[in-house]
Structure 1
């Protein structure tokens, strides 16, 4: 038994399948390809998400200010 093998505790066939998947994922070529896909396809959505988060924060601050200003007048 190789000490680097993954043991799931669900049986030998599952362990072999998971070890095969982990071997493919841990190869450097796969890691570089995966990183490139993430950089090319996911990164624009991260920027859009950060922008939307900033818009939500600004809107919440405006709403809080308007509510505070309204209570101050009454």
Structure 2
């Protein structure tokens, strides 16, 4: 059985990532002066940035679960 708090956090992060990717794609489609290759590379980089932020937020969440304190990493 999954932890309900963890499930909620994961769902919120997925929604945030989906909103951000949608915004990036819509913004990219409006930039019609760019070459298709440059546009694609820009979207890939922005997608990578969103996924990196998702991973950082997930790691921070688990660190907070381990320590019981927001913003603190556990002592290994």
Structures share fold, TM-score greater than 0.5: no
Q: Quick check: which has more Rg, 1 or 2? A: 1
Tell me the TM-score normalized by structure 1.
Answer: 0.43
Tell me the TM-score normalized by structure 2.
Answer: 0.42
More helix by share: 1
Structure scoring higher RCO (CA < 8 A, sep ≥ 6) equals 2
